[in-house]
Structure 1
Amino acid sequence: MSGLTNVKILFFIKRTKVTKNGMATIFVRITINKERTEFTTRKKVSPEIWDDKAERTNGLTPEGIETNSFIDQYQKKIFSYIDFLTLDNQPVSARIIQEKLVGKKEDRRTILKIYQDHNEKAKKLIGVDFSADTVQRYETSYMHTRDFIRWQYKREDMALEELNQQFINNYEFYFKTVRNCSHNTTIKYIKNFKKIIRIALANGWLKKDPFATIKLRLKPVDAVYLTKEELDTIINKSIGIERLQQVRDAFVFCCFTGLAFSDVKSLKREHITTDKDGITWIHKKRTKTDQMSTIFVIEGAKKLIAKYQHEPELIEKGVLLPVLSNQKMNAYLKEIGTICGIDKPISTHTARHTFATTVALENNMPLEVVSKTLGHSNTKMTQRYARTTETLIKKNMEKIKDLY
């Protein structure tokens, strides 16, 4: 007997389907972990001597004895395949055992093959349905999934039919312990993986949804933003290292405009216009949502554009500012924060929150205008960025402090 639990094997005949000479084919039904398959053993028997309850013949004739021996050997063969695959740490399913027995091997779909296929298609749709950053995020998620399978299951890939809720639970545990990711970062990676599962379900490659009873919820967090004093410190700090200067300039530009990292990285001359009143504007669709951002370019942002307008490398690339990868930007921003004595985990996204809170709302810009500048489809999205600061409370309470 196999050491694998949840294995059921049933031998039976279909009495309504007999050959011209009155013989019935013996079928076998294998169920492993509730996945079932049935197929012919190619062995025939006289229906008169078959006992449905015993799953054998009555054994009173040479034919019956020989048939029972065949079934016993066939059953042993099934369990030997199960044991071999289990000991070799390979996937075990009813379909795989069928392939072993009948010699027909289907092109089985695996987790990483489907993930890779999705990513390859996404790469070809960059600029159409996907941004380059989104595709990179899926590539990173693929590598994490591959590393998780190696860590948890000691394999290079896994069959789709092996996916279950326990896999997802182990996946979450891996991110939070081995990768040391925060809860929200973990959930974002798992959501990427969930998209691959949705593809498998939609195509009928997977029968059960391993996410059926799992709720993926992000924890609300207070986003980091800079106060006016902290922003001024970064703007006015004398920095002698060129790479840090460039990172500081790109970051400050985002604080002045509310542009996200992916949008400032792809900012081009064509996105800049000047109206009849001489006011400079940025009109650019957001990379993430395809919503249009309408940005009034203040003097400080104009000066940063002018600073780099003659840089040959930027002219060749057709962009306005020197923007590194998000990973490098975040690493250097932490360095800048240390130099400036700011004890906050500064990242590229801090600039967007700083614009909404410190630059816009604290200077009485209406929420609707902030929303349009940020490229949001509604003000509800903007409220996540808008923090009610002490400065903002003070400005408004000054109006009523002498009423009573």
Structure 2
Amino acid sequence: MKSNHSFSVTFFVRRNREAFGRAPIYVKITVEGSRVFIPVKQTVEVAQWNQKAQKLRGNSPENILARDRMRQIVNDINLAYDELRFQKEVVTAEKIKIKVEGEDQGKSLRDLIKYHFDQPGKLLAAGTLKNYYSTERFLSEFLKRKKLSDIQLSKIDFKFITDFGVYLRTKSPDKGQRPCTNNTVMKHMERFQKLMGLALKFGWILRDPFIHFTRKLVTKDRNVLNDDELASIRQVDLPDPVQCVVRDMFVFSCYTGLAYSEISSLASHHITTDNEGGVWLVMQRKKTLNTNERSFHVLVLP
């Protein structure tokens, strides 16, 4: 049977369904460790089946028919595999099964994610795109938990969404990471919702699975530094030059209101002088790559 490092096809007899010495043949398709099963729709004499060779002994009309059916399924599986690769789609066992059984239900979640990164994702700022990568990684881990490598968009429903939220809340954090708080979970759900909204606009799904989902953020009281506290931070003696840079950027952010991404891209051409000699920082809000974003002005006090 066709096989490589990530794709294999195996025939076997389901002995647990044996009746009167006969059992049905199934084919197992494995892609990157994920597997699905397809019935060959032929029963054979268990005594005539060689599992090691995956062959049927004997030349009875029934056995000849079963062998022909097995060859046809192998051809269909290989054709589905080659079509997916030719179309540059993510090859999964589920997609191959859908093509073989003639139940193509359209785009999958990985198709949607790939399109988002290839097209709309190019308009996102690096920081925003990084957050989408995190959400995609958690979705992949969630699918793996459900023993799936992919899922058709049409099968994503309210239960799938809520189960994903529960997974985010209960998953063990990666090394060096903190557990997901409620607001972190809600941000991942927001990005997931935007992805599904994109699928809805393209007609890849007929209904919005998030229609009954409500995101609830927990409002946090943020303390504001007073002048004395800010001065103490500014004057603290730090032995590490890198820490000094971080401290200076933080203090500069407090005085100007600039975000980290804006401070990190600050250059001399952002500094202008008005007719009265006032010095200003003139920049564009670095959220997207949309050039129509309004600029903002910060007066530099002496």
TM-score tier (shorter)? 0.5 to 0.7
Q: Which residue of 1 aligns with 2:76?
A: none
- After the TM superposition, which of the residue ranges 249-258 and 131-140 deviates more from structure 2? 131-140
Counterpart CA distance in 2 for 1:122 and 1:136 is 14
Residue ranges of structure 1 left out of the alignment (5+ in a row): 1-89, 300-404
Q: Secondary structure at the match of 1:294?
A: strand
Q: Secondary structure at the match of 1:296?
A: strand
Give, in angstroms, the shift of residue 223 of structure 1: 2.4
Q: Is the 8 A contact 1:116 1:142 kept in 2?
A: no
Correspondence 1:317-336 to 2 at 5 A: none
Correspondence 1:208-357 to 2 at 5 A: 208-288=207-287, 290-299=293-302
Q: Is the 8 A contact 2:106 2:204 kept in 1?
A: no
Q: Secondary structure at the match of 1:136?
A: helix
Residue type at the aligned position of 1:280: V
Q: Secondary structure at the match of 1:273?
A: strand
Number of aligned residues: 199
TM-score (norm 2): 0.60
2:141 is aligned, of 140, 147, 171, to: 147
Q: Which residue of 2 aligns with 1:189?
A: 188
Give, in angstroms, the shift of residue 239 of structure 1: 0.7
Question: Share of identical aligned residues, percent?
Answer: 30
1:120 is aligned, of 118, 121, 135, to: 118
Residue type at the aligned position of 2:294: Q
Correspondence 1:43-54 to 2 at 5 A: none
- Over alpha carbons, which structure has the higher Rg? 1
Residue type at the aligned position of 1:187: M
Q: Secondary structure at the match of 1:176?
A: helix
Q: Is the 8 A contact 2:105 2:152 kept in 1?
A: no
Which deviations, in whole Å up to 9, do the C-alpha atoms of 1:8-29 show, x marking residues without a partner? xxxxxxxxxxxxxxxxxxxxxx
Counterpart CA distance in 2 for 1:121 and 1:288 is 17
Counterpart CA distance in 1 for 2:223 and 2:164 is 29
Which deviations, in whole Å up to 9, do the C-alpha atoms of 1:106-151 show, x marking residues without a partner? 48421122112201224533xxxx2222222212221121122112
Residue ranges of structure 2 left out of the alignment (5+ in a row): 1-92, 174-178
Aligned Cα RMSD in Å?
Answer: 2.3
Residue type at the aligned position of 2:117: N
Counterpart CA distance in 2 for 1:221 and 1:284 is 29
TM-score (norm 1): 0.46
1:133 is aligned, of 117, 127, 133, to: 127
Q: Is the 8 A contact 2:110 2:150 kept in 1?
A: yes
Q: Secondary structure at the match of 2:242?
A: helix
Which deviations, in whole Å up to 9, do the C-alpha atoms of 1:136-168 show, x marking residues without a partner? 2212221121122112x1222212122111111
Q: Which residue of 1 aligns with 2:108?
A: 110
Q: Secondary structure at the match of 2:119?
A: helix
